[in-house]
Amino acid sequence: MFKIVKRQEMSQGTVILNEIEAPLIAKKAKPGQFVILKANETGERIPLTMADTNPAKGTITIIYMVVGKSTALFKDLKVGEGYQDVIGPLGKATHLEKVGKVVCVGGGTGVAVLHPITRGLKEVGNDVTCIIGSRNKGLLIMEEHMKAASHDLRICTDDGSYGHHGFVTDVLKDVLKGGDIKLVVAIGPVPMMKAVSNITKEFNVETMVSLNPIMVDGTGMCGGCRVTVGGKTKFACVDGPEFDGHQVDYDELMLRLRAYQEEERKCHQDYCTIRDAK
Eight-class DSSP state of 79? B
Q: Give the pLDDT confidence score for residue 268 in this predicted structure.
A: 45
Whether residue 198 sits in one domain with residue 62: no
Whether residue 76 sits in one domain with residue 160: no
CA dist 135 and 157 (Å) reads 5
pTM: 0.87
Strand order, beta sheet including 101-107:
164-165, 152-157, 127-134, 101-107, 181-187, 206-210, 242-244
Whether residue 136 sits in one domain with residue 66: no
Domain assignment present for 265 = no
What is the domain range of residue 18?
2-90
Q: Give the pLDDT confidence score for residue 222 in this predicted structure.
A: 84
Domain assignment present for 226 = yes
Q: Give the pLDDT confidence score for residue 10 in this predicted structure.
A: 86
Domain limit, last residue, from 25, 55, 90 = 90
Eight-class DSSP state of 56? T
- pLDDT beneath 50: ranges in the chain: 264, 267-268, 270-272, 274-275
Domain assignment present for 165 = yes
Q: Give the pLDDT confidence score for residue 35 in this predicted structure.
A: 95
Q: How many domains does one find in the chain?
A: 2
Whether residue 113 sits in one domain with residue 15: no
Whether residue 64 sits in one domain with residue 169: no
Whether residue 130 sits in one domain with residue 28: no
What's the CATH number where 79 sits? 2.40.30.10
Whether residue 116 sits in one domain with residue 25: no
Q: Give the pLDDT confidence score for residue 261 in this predicted structure.
A: 58
Whether residue 130 sits in one domain with residue 55: no
CA dist 156 and 106 (Å) reads 10
Domain limit, last residue, from 50, 69, 90 = 90
For the residues of 198-265, what is the DSSP string, one character each?
HHHHHHT-EEEEE-----SSSSSSS-TTEEEETTEEEEHHHH-SEEETTTB-HHHHHHHHHHHHHHHH
Domain assignment present for 275 = no
Q: Give the pLDDT confidence score for residue 184 in this predicted structure.
A: 98
What's the CATH number where 182 sits? 3.40.50.80
Whether residue 187 sits in one domain with residue 66: no
Whether residue 7 sits in one domain with residue 136: no
Whether residue 153 sits in one domain with residue 79: no
Domain limit, last residue, from 30, 58, 90 = 90
Strand partners, 229: 232, 248
Q: Give the pLDDT confidence score for residue 277 in this predicted structure.
A: 55
Sign of the CA dihedral with 79 first, then 10, 62, and 261 last? positive
Domain assignment present for 277 = no
Q: Under DSSP, is residue 152 helix (H, G, I), strand (E, B) or coil?
A: strand
Whether residue 224 sits in one domain with residue 144: yes
